[in-house]
């Protein structure tokens, strides 16, 4: 059985025939045709999550892990707007989401009808494409047109780089009627992704430019793990004229890369700048966490900057872009490497010598470091089970992770598309549900509280572990320049509080652990990571000293210098 609304039933059928399997639906009435069409389809697994904001991030977590399009569906009105934070994040991370919003028929818009807003193109700035299906489909010709639209929408979630695509579906009452079969056979349009290549002339020009520079810097932004790209990076890392800077979220964590960028940048003295400044900058991947490297390059610009990306090739993060290259990084470097020469240069050693010096000072400092966020991160990154999926919350968690050498024993993810604190736990829950592997999310207290509806979810997997570092507010505002010099720090910037997650955990039957010193933390980590008696996820809340954290971090960077 399926909905008698052909536009809904057709969408579900093409979604399945395109090989997609998962949809996250939030309860409602106007989306009844979508519920009947998707939840009853034999090839589709439908999940019900009440809160639309959490549901969208949960779906994003599934898509993040599977790299397949995941659909979300909701009722009309303000429910639609609750999708916006996750859609914006998915847009800037290129995560494939198909957004299905049920709507009133056009003649009821702006007529005082309940749960009715202007939904057509409502996400226009944060989706790859927007569509609206016709309310009625009466003929084979109309079916063919609608089938083409739906197929195209699903394809755009995945190609050329992917991202969220919105389909608005108006439904006239009655909306609960069902039929056995579609009245027409859908015509699924096959996908034909284009592979972009450079001309031989252009490739030779770039290779000649590469070969003339003795100081080349590669910066990798946020990416999914790729064995092919790791192999390419290792080849380039053998060139003395090339330094490769990565972050935890680059998932390029091997011996040929410097993964702790800020531990080097923060130590560069004015007289050393010419030694560290690149002649050629090559960037690829998504957003970069380090503000220090952005500031360094923007202030001390290279002669040329190439940005390699199939979609965002014109993005000028470092304000010196000379060559936007519209390609996948693996394809580009595979074509370039046979044409370039390795050079004798001191450039790579300049960076590596400073990185090794910083590693020694890093270890020395932490040996005697007082209990603080920094010391807690050291312990956590030694204790998370090997092979884990590590989801890093925004503000301090993702930044602290950059101070510790990344390792291939973890897969690192973070909502760094828009870098908001919303949806961290929901995204991690979706990721854990999808991958079935040990998944740890590290978040701050405000990030957890902001997304506490993530626990209002019947699909929370037992392999999820939630670590909350509770420093009593937005701890980052005690470290970044500016807020701590005002009289409004605690109330408006830091949002100081004394709340904990204890009773939220109890309400949702999630085992809860609490530590406020290093001895307690060391004692609780083993039982926290064991299977819980009630087969639920678990929460570990770690209270750290509000004021000491910023003092320790400042002392840490001073020590590196």
Can you give the pLDDT at residue 493? Answer: 52
Is the predicted pLDDT of residue 488 greater than 70, yes or no?
A: no
Quote the pTM value: 0.93
Q: What average pLDDT score do residues 440-459 get? A: 95
Asked if 2-179 and 200-353 have one fold, the answer is yes
Sort 255 into a burial class: Cβ within 10 Å, 0-12 / 13-18 / 19+: exposed
Give the domain ranges of the chain. Answer: 2-179, 200-353, 369-560
| Cβ–Cβ under 8 Å, residues 185 and 9 | no
Count of beta carbons in the 10 Å neighbourhood of residue 380: 22
Q: Which two three-digit tokens encode residue 28?
A: 């409602």
Q: Which two three-digit tokens encode residue 549?
A: 């954290």
Q: CA-CA distance, 55 to 47, in Å (whole number)?
A: 9
| Cβ–Cβ under 8 Å, residues 278 and 303 | no
Can you give the pLDDT at residue 152? Answer: 95
Can you give the pLDDT at residue 494? Answer: 55
What band does 473 get if pLDDT is binned at 50, 70 and 90? low
Q: Which two three-digit tokens encode residue 97?
A: 């989401």
Q: Is 38 helix (H, G, I), strand (E, B) or coil?
A: helix
Q: CA-CA distance, 34 to 40, in Å (whole number)?
A: 10
Can you give the pLDDT at residue 259? Answer: 94
Q: Of 364, 316, 378, 411, which Cα lies nearest the Cα of 521?
A: 378
Q: Of 246, 232, 256, 341, which Cα lies nearest the Cα of 288?
A: 246
The residue that leads in pLDDT, 351 or 475, is 351
Is the predicted pLDDT of residue 477 greater than 60, yes or no?
A: no
What band does 183 get if pLDDT is binned at 50, 70 and 90? confident
Q: Which two three-digit tokens encode residue 370?
A: 């007082």
Phi-psi region of 337 (alpha: psi -120 to 50; beta: other; left: phi over 0): alpha
The average confidence (pLDDT) of the chain is 92
What sign does the dihedral 478-480-485-491 (CA atoms) show? negative
Give, in order, the Cα–Cα distances in Å from 115 to each of 72, 111, 238: 18, 11, 61
Q: CA-CA distance, 111 to 450, in Å (whole number)?
A: 34
Q: What average pLDDT score do residues 100-122 get? A: 83
% of residues, the chain, pLDDT over 70:
95
Can you give the pLDDT at residue 10? Answer: 96
Give, in order, the Cα–Cα distances in Å from 222 to each of 64, 182, 247: 12, 43, 8
Residues 6+ apart with CB under 8 A from 441: 390, 391, 392, 393, 424, 425, 427, 428, 464, 465, 466, 467
Residue with tokens 């290129």: 94
Q: What angle do CA 273, 276, 281 make, to 5 degrees?
A: 120
* CATH superfamily ID and name for 369-560: Thiamin diphosphate (ThDP)-binding fold, Pyr/PP domains (3.40.50.970)
Is the predicted pLDDT of residue 408 greater than 90, yes or no?
A: no
What sign does the dihedral 232-238-243-248 (CA atoms) show? positive
What is the fold, at CATH topology level, of the domain defined by 2-179?
A: Rossmann fold (3.40.50)
Is the predicted pLDDT of residue 482 greater than 70, yes or no?
A: no
Give, in order, the Cα–Cα distances in Å from 34 to each of 288, 399, 456: 38, 41, 22
Dump pLDDT digits (tens) for 206-257.
999 999 999 999 999 999 999 999 999 999 999 999 999 999 999 998 889 9
Q: What average pLDDT score do residues 85-89 get? A: 97
- What is the layout of strands, in order, in the sheet containing 512-515? 411-414, 389-392, 439-444, 464-470, 538-543, 512-515
Is the predicted pLDDT of residue 484 greater than 80, yes or no?
A: no
Is the predicted pLDDT of residue 478 greater than 70, yes or no?
A: no
What band does 419 get if pLDDT is binned at 50, 70 and 90? confident
Can you give the pLDDT at residue 113? Answer: 77
Dump pLDDT digits (tens) for 338-395.
999 999 999 999 999 999 999 999 999 999 999 999 999 999 999 999 999 999 999 8
Can you give the pLDDT at residue 41? Answer: 97
Report which DSSP code applies to 493: I
Q: Does domain 200-353 match CATH 3.40.190.10? A: no
Q: Which two three-digit tokens encode residue 78?
A: 């303000």
Is the predicted pLDDT of residue 487 greater than 80, yes or no?
A: no
Can you give the pLDDT at residue 70? Answer: 98
Is the predicted pLDDT of residue 552 greater than 90, yes or no?
A: yes
Dump pLDDT digits (tens) for 36-58.
999 999 999 999 999 999 999 99
Is the predicted pLDDT of residue 117 greater than 70, yes or no?
A: yes
Can you give the pLDDT at residue 363? Answer: 96
């Amino acid at each position: 059985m399926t909905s008698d609304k052909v536009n809904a039933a057709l969408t579900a059928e093409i979604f399945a025939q395109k090989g997609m399997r998962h949809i996250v639906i939030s309860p409602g009435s106007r989306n009844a045709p979508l519920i009947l069409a998707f939840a009853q389809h034999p090839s589709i697994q439908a999940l019900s999550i009440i809160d639309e904001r959490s549901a969208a991030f949960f779906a994003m977590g599934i898509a993040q892990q599977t790299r397949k399009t995941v659909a979300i569906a909701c009722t009309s009105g303000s429910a639609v707007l609750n999708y916006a934070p996750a859609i914006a994040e998915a847009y800037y991370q290129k995560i494939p989401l198909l957004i299905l919003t049920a709507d009133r028929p056009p003649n009821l818009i702006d007529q005082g009808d309940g749960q009715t807003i202007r939904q057509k193109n409502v996400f226009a700035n944060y989706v790859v494409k927007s569509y609206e299906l016709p309310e009625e489909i009466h003929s084979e010709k109309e079916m063919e047109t609608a089938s083409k639209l739906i197929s195209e929408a699903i394809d755009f979630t995945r190609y050329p780089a992917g991202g969220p695509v919105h389909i608005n579906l108006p439904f006239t009452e009655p909306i609960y009627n069902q039929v056995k079969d579609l009245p027409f056979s859908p015509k699924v349009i096959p996908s034909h992704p284009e592979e972009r290549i450079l001309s031989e002339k252009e490739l030779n020009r770039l290779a000649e430019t590469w070969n003339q520079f003795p100081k080349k810097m590669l910066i990798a932004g946020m990416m999914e793990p790729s064995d092919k790209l790791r192999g390419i990076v290792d080849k380039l890392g053998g060139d003395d004229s090339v330094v490769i800077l990565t972050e935890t979220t680059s998932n390029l964590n091997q011996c040929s890369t410097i993964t702790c960028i800020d531990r080097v940048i923060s130590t560069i003295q004015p007289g050393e700048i010419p030694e560290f400044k690149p002649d050629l900058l090559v960037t690829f991947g998504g957003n970069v966490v380090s503000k220090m490297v952005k500031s360094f390059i923007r202030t001390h610009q290279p002669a040329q900057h190439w940005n390699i990306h199939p979609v965002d090739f014109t993005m000028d993060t470092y304000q010196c872009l000379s060559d936007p290259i519209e390609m996948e990084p693996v394809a580009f470097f595979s074509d370039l490497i046979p044409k370039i020469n390795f050079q004798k240069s001191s450039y790579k050693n300049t960076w590596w010598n400073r990185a090794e010096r910083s590693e020694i000072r890093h270890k020395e400092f932490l040996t005697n470091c007082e209990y603080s966020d920094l010391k807690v991160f050291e312990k956590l990154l030694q204790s998370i089970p090997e092979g884990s999926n590590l989801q890093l919350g925004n503000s301090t968690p993702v930044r602290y992770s950059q101070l510790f050498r990344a390792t291939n024993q973890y897969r690192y993810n973070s909502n760094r598309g828009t870098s908001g604190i919303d949806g961290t736990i929901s995204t991690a829950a979706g990721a854990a549900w999808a991958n079935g592997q040990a998944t740890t999310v590290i978040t701050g207290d405000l990030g957890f509280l902001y997304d506490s509806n993530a626990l209002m979810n019947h699909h929370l997997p037992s392999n999820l572990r939630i670590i909350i570092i509770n420093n009593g507010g937005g701890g980052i505002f005690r470290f970044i320049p500016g807020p701590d010099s005002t009289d409004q720090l605690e109330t408006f910037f830091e949002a100081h509080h004394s709340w904990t997650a204890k009773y939220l955990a109890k309400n949702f039957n999630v085992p809860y652990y609490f530590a406020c010193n290093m001895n307690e933390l060391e004692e609780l980590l083993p039982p926290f990571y064991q299977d819980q008696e009630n087969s639920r996820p678990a929460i570990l809340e770690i209270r750290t000293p509000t004021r000491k954290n910023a003092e320790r971090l400042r002392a840490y960077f001073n020590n590196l210098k």
